[in-house]
Amino acid sequence: MLAYFLVYAALLLPPVWAAFGLTESGNSYVVDTDGGLVFTVDKTSGDVTSMKYNGKEAQDSSKHSQISSGIGATCGWVRTGNSNNYIKITCTTSTLTHYYVAKYKDPSIHMATYTTAEPSVGELRYIARLARSTVPNGYAASNVDGGSAIEGSDVFLVNGQTRSKFYSSRQFIDDQVHGVTGSAIGIYMVIYGNGYEASSGGPFFRDINNQGGSVQELYFCECIATFSCEHTSDGIFVRIDMNSGHTQTEGWRTGLHGPYALVFTSGAAPSANIDPLFWEGLGVQGYVGNSGRGRVSGKASGFPSQFASLISVGFSNSQNQYWVRTDTSGNFVTPYMKPGTYTMTLYKVELAIGSQSATVSAGGTTSANIASSEANPAVIWQIGDFDGTPRGFLNADKIETMHPSDSRMASWGGKTFTVGNNVNTFPMAIFKDIGGVTIKFTLTSSQLGARTLQIGTTLAFAGGRPVVVVNSWTSAIPAIPSQPDSRGVTRGTWRGNNIMYTYNIPAGTLIAGTNTISITVASGSSGAQFLSPNIVFDALRLY
């Protein structure tokens, strides 16, 4: 009977954790997740000063992990959530609140950052500075150890190959998990739930994930403003950038950035499918649970069938952004979105081909179909696909992971392309200081008369725009394009504002037989080699 009573009484007691909890020691909060991870936060600054996973110290001994270079926050903590299974550390400044959350038996540091104004720290980013000896393995393209700077302080030459932190980047739509590893340890940044909703730049924006060297940096860039960032090379960083000036095409957004998590494993990459439901019970400023959100379902149509697996739909307003890939029939259901009216955009690969308004209400699902409004004229010839990218063109398969000067690149300047040749011989970009491209093509007498040439571009630098000479006729110089004020193609990206240039070729210009079109870069600015004004091609067509 006594044994029965003891068992019954035990069932009525609150759960008992072997080690889960927080201990205060001087200015330190020491958190044991009881999942193999013990981490320490300085309550006077908001810095993480130690991260031990299965006894291995992952924190760099000379630096702390922190927002930017430190925010001087004041911190407090509470044990909260379902059955007190969570520890929430709240670190505050006048315009920023950063949250660390520990979950019972979970070897992760869950985080979110709430801002009410553009942060005084410049680029809002969390930098977890990790010991190189513990996690030495990062991304080869961004391993700058032993290199010499060849452009600014962020592009290096290492053993004859160009390397940069920018060459680790991936488009947001495909970037949920990235990390560094060591012996029996992996540390990964996981962006989950609606972690990108207060970011800027849309689904195809990309920014730094990693830089390796005597230090190695691993980043999550959730860009919300227009700042540039400089990074050192004296330790290993895991970095989260929440605002940046790296070819940013939108203004910044305030609000809650996240959730995201620093996840510790024995080496393998974790799943991105972390259920964010537990955040709803933590009292986090700006967090909106699914019950306060709505969704949009619908069907996209009008896109060419060969792009059926590469269609997505984006939603944005001044506060939030979301996106979803369609199935091959065009059907989609969005993530849970905050209520509001959004610009709804249909993308073919990365090119916007349709736009309309959509309104989301809490607790409901809005039905909204969207159709392509893209013009598809009957062409005499076309070079490449109008898809918002230079994919398929010369060097496009390398530009995301190499500087244009890299010896592994094909030569850039003075190219002549004959229509009908493989498009992989047509340069993805041209540079004012290096030279343009000449196109040769043959016409029949029935194809003469006034014609239209269109040149699609995805990005330009230093006011670059294309000027064309068709046989003996020279076009006017187009207006200065609206593009990000930032290096682009040397930073491993082609993403800017897609611009279509249209040239009306007058009758009598084209001839039966061989014709030539020369394209060069016009700009009032100048620069040397790959930092001279330039443009990145999407596709070209004559009709």
Residue with tokens 């998590």: 261
Q: Is residue 376 part of a domain?
A: no
Q: Is residue 5 part of a domain?
A: no
Alpha-carbon span 195 to 61, nearest angstrom: 29
**Cis preceding linkage at 203, omega within 30:** no
pLDDT (0 to 100) of residue 242:
43
Do 535 and 499 belong to one domain? yes
pLDDT (0 to 100) of residue 218:
80
> Coil, strand, or helix at residue 464?
coil
Alpha-carbon span 306 to 352, nearest angstrom: 16
Residue by residue, DSSP assigns 169-202 as -EEGGG-SEEEEEETTEEEEEEE-TTTTTT--S-
Q: Is residue 1 part of a domain?
A: no
Residue by residue, DSSP assigns 43-110 as TTT--EEEEEETTEE-B-SSS-BEETT----EEEEEEESGGG-EEEEEEE-SSEEEEEEEETT--EEE
Question: If residue 8 lies in a helix (H) or strand (E), which one and from where to where?
Answer: helix 2-12
Q: 259, 281, 303: which is the final residue of a domain? A: 281
Q: Residue 77, Cβ neighbours under 10 Å: how many?
A: 18
Do 270 and 123 belong to one domain? yes
Alpha-carbon span 466 to 63, nearest angstrom: 47
Q: Is residue 9 part of a domain?
A: no
Alpha-carbon span 330 to 152, nearest angstrom: 44
Q: Is residue 10 part of a domain?
A: no
Looking up residue 481, the CATH number of its domain turns out to be 2.60.120.260
Report the chain's terminal Cα–Cα distance, integer Å: 93
Domain count for the chain: 3
Can you state the percent helix, strand and coil of the chain, rounding each to 5? 10, 45, 50
Q: 281, 300, 327: which is the final residue of a domain? A: 281
Do 235 and 307 belong to one domain? no
Which residue range(s) make up the domain with 532? Answer: 381-542
Residue with tokens 């149509």: 301
Do 151 and 65 belong to one domain? yes
Alpha-carbon span 341 to 301, nearest angstrom: 22
Alpha-carbon span 448 to 170, nearest angstrom: 44
CB 168 within 8 A of CB 269: no
Looking up residue 342, the CATH number of its domain turns out to be 2.60.40.1120
Tell me, letter by letter, the H, E, C secondary structure of 321-363.
EEEEECCCCCEEECCCECCEEEEEEEEECCEEEEEEEEEECCC
Distances (CA, A) of 419 to 380, 398, 413: 10, 23, 18
Count of H helices and E strands in the chain? 1, 40
Q: Is residue 3 part of a domain?
A: no
Do 364 and 385 belong to one domain? no
Do 219 and 85 belong to one domain? yes
Do 222 and 310 belong to one domain? no
Which structure tokens are listed for 313? 């739909």
Do 240 and 340 belong to one domain? no
Alpha-carbon span 105 to 20, nearest angstrom: 8
User: For residue 106, how many C-alpha atoms fall within 13 Å in the half-sphere facing its CB?
Assistant: 17
Q: Is residue 473 part of a domain?
A: yes
> Coil, strand, or helix at residue 448?
coil
Closest CA to 257 of 293, 283, 221: 221
Tell me, letter by letter, the H, E, C secondary structure of 360-386.
ECCCCEEECCEECCCCCCCCCEEECCC
> Coil, strand, or helix at residue 292?
helix
Longest alpha-carbon distance in the chain:
107
Q: 281, 306, 337: which is the final residue of a domain? A: 281
Residue 295 is given by DSSP the state E
Which residues lie closer than 8 Å to 72 by C-beta, 6 or more apart?
A: 45, 46, 93
pLDDT (0 to 100) of residue 219:
82
User: Which residue ranges in the chain fall short of pLDDT 70?
Assistant: 1-18, 121-122, 222-250
How are beta strands 206-207 and 210-211 bridged, if at all? unpaired
| pTM (2 d.p.) | 0.91
Do 412 and 356 belong to one domain? no
Do 62 and 185 belong to one domain? yes
Alpha-carbon span 487 to 495, nearest angstrom: 11
Residue with tokens 């739930």: 193
Do 367 and 403 belong to one domain? no
pLDDT (0 to 100) of residue 249:
64
Do 76 and 183 belong to one domain? yes
Looking up residue 228, the CATH number of its domain turns out to be 2.70.98.10
Q: Is residue 6 part of a domain?
A: no
